[in-house]
Structure 1
Amino acid sequence: MTTAPETGGRWVMGIDSGGSKSIGVLLREDGYLGGIGFGGPANLYFTSEEDAQTAIRRVVTQAVEMARKRGLLPSPGQSAEPGGPAGGAAPLEVGALYFSSPGLRMEPAVEALRDLIRCGRIVLEDDAPAAFWGALAGGEGVVVLAGTGSFGYGRRGEKTAVKGGWGPLLGDEGSGYWIGVRALQAVIRSYEGRGPATALTKLLRETLPYRLETELRRIVYGPDFTRHRLAGLAMLVSEAAAGGDEVAAGILAAAGRELAQLAVAVATELGWERDDPFPFSLTGGVSNAGPWLTEAFFATVQESFPAARWRPPRYAPCVGAGLRALQLLGVEITPALLNELETSLAEGHPAFARMLQPGDGDRTNTGETREVQRRVAG
């Protein structure tokens, strides 16, 4: 954990940055959600410092603008105090800012915010605590995040454990990237007669696009085929599985089992026994890949821990980052605070409520997949 000095304020901001995107939430001290912002990835392992700073600035700017449009913050040129002097667009003052990112560094993050935010306290951690707080909203248990990459994180009393998070070359089993690689491999095996026919062949041709499988080498190893574009292919695997493709369904089931092994390893390190009823959850974009993945995940965890209790993720990791920011101010995360947060989600941000509260892992409609195809194709 990296930290930098203190002041005060009634707003906090939490920013979660994964392998494909960054999302930030602006929360009031009572838990009310004032604004949301979106940007590209800010993980310096996979993106440049300049692009990471641009992503952070975009996230903060969007969240602050949303809060201002809703009358929750003074507009540029308007004084924050009744009867006070008006002026230019001064930086927003927040009591705490929490960054959740495995590859970001404090210096470029602070530099990106210099004229946008004045912070009482800034903390930068990897993405595991925010995922945990988003999924379970505190307490004890095990959370596995499966997005572009993957990891497992758990907490029992004062003890924590993390498994995975090694990146695409060393790990990320069960992640969107892992699923995307296996989709490409399945198409190649089918093309060469080393594997069964699969609907993925047609879907990939429509998405990338290409005419002959021999072109895949040029596309995949080209400079524009980024890690998050490859991870985006996971939704095509969901579409193929929903259409009855056994190859795609098998890939997703294998991903679920890999992710479950992360949960089992975390629970084992934390000392839970087979009959302990601890909660476990799966969060991140891949948790929406479909029942083939989630059912395999659930069954594999319960083979080792049959008394463990499945709990759907309560919020996305970006909300977990916001809750961590509130904790930096000494705010207790109470049921009343979470109720205020959920009320603001429903009343103030209906378009984003589904995104901030992850679904049940069974969203596989063609329209959504076509949008993913458009983004993957660049």
Structure 2
Amino acid sequence: MNASHGLILGIDGGGTKTVAWLARCDFTNESDVTNTMEIIGRGRSGSSNVRGVGFETAFDHLNQAVERAFTDAKLSQVTVESACLALAGAGRDVERKRIRTWAEQCQLASKLTVVDDALPVLYAASPDGIGIALIAGTGSLALGQNTNGDRARCGGWGSLLGDEGSGYQISLAALRAAVRADDGRGPSTQLHERLLDHHAITSASELIPILHAEPNNRIMIASLAPLVFDVAGSGDPVATQIIDQASTDLAEMAKTLADRLDMSTQPCSLAGTGSVLIHQPAFTQSVCDKLAESGIKTTYHAIPESVAGTLMIAAGSMTTH
């Protein structure tokens, strides 16, 4: 039997990491393909956000993740029957075209699907992909799909124009609060001392060379988010306000989509992923509470690995005629 028979590949590429899962399916059972799916290999590498790290680095990381998935499965790399790629920063046709060209050149798959990076989150939560996906990791984004198949997104504008509620913006707000406190322009906050201790420095001015040490500093800055949550948990009012604003911003994204897609009159699925939502349950509950206060009822699903949704999409594309 050809080694590629029944193999599908799902790839989820974000601002921090790229995850590839290799699975085998029985496509002769078209009515229940997803239940025949067996994950046989997993691979991981660095960021493949094309806007954040550039195409060449993104493609290197994609190659590494795929190679490691095949290695984990103890298989030689072959062209799979179907692959679904969901990459942050690849929402426009121009980016998707380059990604397709790369996939064709390396003979990744016989059938390739390139989707919005939030869409797999919906399919990981529900086989019909109906509901709202909310991503808050290094960056942030919301995507909704209703029963008519209408789709809309909110946020996802990147670190310069948006990413509200993300680890990056939470951390950036904390850094700004710390230097304002250092100047005397803002209220005193534990963030000042904690950020200096974290970087093993004695002066806020030493943050400047640290934060500008590498061109792509978004990931490093975003990694400070757990510190901000910790300080907020101690009752620091400045950190608490930063976290409260972040949850308000994310709730606003989800509500905007629920209203736009006419999903606000009945409970809908809210699928959350990204380090901020997955690792901060009290914060996630705050987002849900604010949605409820605004009249949007949701059933929340935590999606630790949205790559599972890319496999669902890859499998589904083989049975769609």
1:100 to 77, 86, 108: 86
Question: SS of the residue aligned with 1:127?
Answer: coil
CA–CA distance in structure 1, aligned partners of residues 78 and 271 of structure 2 = 35
Sort the Cα spacing of 1:330 and 1:276 in 2 relative to 1 into closer, same or farther, 3 A.
Answer: same
Question: What CA distance in whole angstroms lies between the structure 2 residues aligned with 1:112 and 1:118?
Answer: 5
Secondary structure of the residue aligned to 1:92 is coil
1:305 to 1:61, Cα distance in 2 relative to 1, 3 A:
same
**Alignment: residue pair count:** 302
Match for 1:326 among 310, 315, 321?
A: 315
Aligned to 2:210: 219
Match of 1:293 among 279, 283, 298: 283
CA contact (8 A) 1:136 1:313 kept: no
Residue type at the aligned position of 1:246: P
**Residue 48 of structure 2 corresponds to residue 58 of structure 1:** no
1:9 aligns with 2:15: no
**Cα deviation, residue 146, structure 1:** 0.8
Matched, 1:23 2:19: yes
Match of 2:144 in 1: 154
* Structure 1 stretches lacking a partner, 5+ long: 1-7, 74-88, 332-378
Distance 2:200 2:122 in 1: 37
Offset at residue 316 of structure 1 (A): 2.1
Structure 2's unaligned 5+ residue stretches are 26-35
SS at match of 1:282: strand
2: CA distance between counterparts of 1:178 and 1:214? 20
The letter for the 2-side match of 1:323 is M
Query: Cα gap change, 1:129/1:291 in structure 2, threshold over 3 Å: closer, same or farther?
Result: closer
SS of 1:122's equivalent in the other structure is strand
Match of 2:39 in 1: 33
TM-score where L is the length of structure 2: 0.85
Residue identity in the other structure for 1:298: C
- Deviation, structure 1 residue 199: 2.8
Find the counterpart in structure 1 of residue 33 from structure 2.
none
For 1:108 and 1:141, the matched residues in 2 are separated by 27
Deviates more, 1:297-306 or 1:202-211: 202-211
Query: Over aligned residues, Cα RMSD in angstroms?
Result: 2.4
Pairing 1:262-301 to 2, within 5 Å after superposition: 262-273=253-264, 275-301=265-291
Amino acid at match of 1:151: L
CA contact (8 A) 1:190 1:196 kept: yes
Alignment deviations for residues 128-161 of structure 1 (CA, whole Å, 9 cap, x no partner): 2112222444342112111111111111112111
One-letter code of the match for 2:67? T
148 and 135 in structure 1: CA distance in 2 versus 1, 3 angstrom threshold: farther
Cα distance in 2 between the residues matched to 1:207 and 1:283: 26
Identity of aligned residues (%): 30
Is the aligned partner of 1:234 residue 2:230? no
Note if 1:173 corresponds to 2:137.
Answer: no
What is the TM-score when the length of structure 1 is the normalising length?
Answer: 0.73
Task: Give the aligned residue type for 1:185.
Answer: R
Q: In 2, distance between residues paired with 1:319 and 1:56?
A: 17
Alignment match, 2:109: 119
Q: Deviations over 1:280-324 (max 9, x none)?
A: 232211103525522321122112225x13322245221111211
Structure 1 position 98, deviation (Å): 0.9
* Pair 121,291 (structure 1): closer, same or farther in 2 beyond 3 Å: closer
Residue 3 (structure 1) aligns with = none
* Residues in 1 aligned to 2:58 and 2:103: alpha-carbon distance in whole angstroms: 9
